[in-house]
Amino acid sequence: MRGLYLVTDRAVCGHRTVEEVVLMALRGGAACIQLREKDVSTRDFVEEAQRIKAIMAPFRAFLIINDRIDVALAVGADGVHIGQRDMPYEIARKLLGPRAIIGLSVETWEDVERAGALDVNYLGVSPVFETPTKTDTKGHWGLEGLSRIRAATRRPLVAIGGLNAANAADVIRAGADAVAVVSAICAAPDPYQATRELNVIIDDSLALYHR
Amino acid sequence: MRGLYLVTDRAVCGHRTVEEVVLMALRGGAACIQLREKDVSTRDFVEEAQRIKAIMAPFRAFLIINDRIDVALAVGADGVHIGQRDMPYEIARKLLGPRAIIGLSVETWEDVERAGALDVNYLGVSPVFETPTKTDTKGHWGLEGLSRIRAATRRPLVAIGGLNAANAADVIRAGADAVAVVSAICAAPDPYQATRELNVIIDDSLALYHR
């Protein structure tokens, strides 16, 4: 996992649909779309995921489903992102198979240590900064915490939480392979332009800092 | 599907845990347990389903998971119950395989007609009577509606909605193969005794009326 990673939030998209924002982000160069829905029926989630998958077909980007392995299996997504209160990782891997992308959020150092024993495809470092779009977290990592995790693991790191064009370069320098955003794209006046700007920063920073 | 079918509702269990009520219902002769959870994390749902499965091991009863195919797959449940806003039936069948039990709720005559083309293992006739434990339904079938469905399909019918010892014989006579209850067991002073009493009525009625 590398580059710009969009996590959707229907409430933050404002007057645009999630589908519209995803299309604009793909045109702007997003490398990964994580579809996150918490308060919809399984049917609505599956149908939305099917629409998003169709929109993504012409693009080289991954479709990741938040939490719901049933939805990922139903639509043939590239993988899932799971948090510490979602499906246990080992069961998720068994259900999705060895080729699926499975990302796991780490919110504490204990999470990082436990994840070290797992063949996860990336760690979601969550949250790097304080953020209004996710309030159920246990403090934030900061750039220092991100650097500590970078030193402790060779897994790709997806940084998330309060990230935008002003701090994207910093998180790449601190060790992130991908920058995940919600509001910076979903709530932008022009999600396409916002994605392009973020992408330039992320690509330049990866070229500059990355091993 | 035949006999007494318990649908769990943690809120209705009062001072007892879902696990305690399920064990009492199994001892009382329940033929099927449907685990229904709406507001818990995936992790909590999976862990609860694992505990319930362990409790059920000595008994000859089916474990059915409401809606969540990921949870059913994770714990190796016997099947799932899906409503009209849950996973589309064809996808559920594909994910769970030909041997899984898949029950489908029918709330309108259109649902019944569409279900006629599907190899569902049973139809959940929902609700037969008005019920306080499920308020998002479109009216109720009544005994007459249940009889109409009985005449239209050979699939097993699981009746649900406002059922108890006072009307269980009526719904069997009207064509139900199984009687599903929530409050009649979960909220009973003694769930074991309540299950036994219901079971006697259901077994007698099945012997009396059933083809």
**One-letter amino acid for residue B1 of the chain:** M
pLDDT at A101: 98
β-pairing verdict for B178-181 and A32-35: unpaired
pLDDT at B135: 65
The DSSP output letter for B78 is S
Distance separating alpha carbons of residues A168 and A50, to the nearest angstrom:
30
Query: What's the pLDDT tens digit per position in A173-188?
Result: 999 999 999 999 999 9
* Mutation site, A42, A53, A82, interface B, largest B CB count within 10 A: A42
Does A43 sit within 8 Å of B86, measured CB to CB? yes
| CA-based nearest residue to A81, from A50, A123, A110 | A123
Burial class (CB in 10 A: 0-12, 13-18, 19+), A66: buried
Q: In chain B, what are the domain boundaries?
A: 3-209
| CA-based nearest residue to B107, from B134, B79, B72, B68 | B134
CATH 2.102.10.10 holds for A3-209: no
A105 among known catalytic residues: yes
Residue A76 sits at the chain B interface (C-beta within 8 Å): no
Task: Give how far Cα B198 sits from Cα of A8, A48, B103, B142, B188, Å.
Answer: 48, 42, 22, 20, 12
| pLDDT < 70 positions in chain B | 134-137, 211
Residue B46 sits at the chain A interface (C-beta within 8 Å): yes
pLDDT at A211: 57
Q: How close B70 gets to chain A, by Cα (Å)? A: 5
Query: What's the pLDDT tens digit per position in B146-178?
Result: 999 999 999 999 999 999 999 999 999 999 999
pLDDT at B139: 86
pLDDT band at A139 (very low <50, low <70, confident <90, very high): confident
CA angle A46, A5, A48 (to 5 degrees): 15
pLDDT at B136: 67
Catalytic residues of B: 36, 105, 134
Q: How close B2 gets to chain A, by Cα (Å)? A: 27
Q: Are B35 and B65 contacting, i.e. CB atoms less than 8 angstroms apart?
A: yes
Determine the length of chain B. Answer: 211
pLDDT at A210: 80
Query: Out of A10, A68, A93, A134, which one is annotated catalytic?
Result: A134
**The whole model's pTM is what?**
0.94
Query: What's the pLDDT tens digit per position in B5-30?
Result: 999 999 999 999 999 999 999 999 99
pLDDT at A135: 65
pLDDT at A136: 67
CA dihedral B52, B53, B58, B59 (to 10 degrees): 80
Run of H or E residues at A67: none
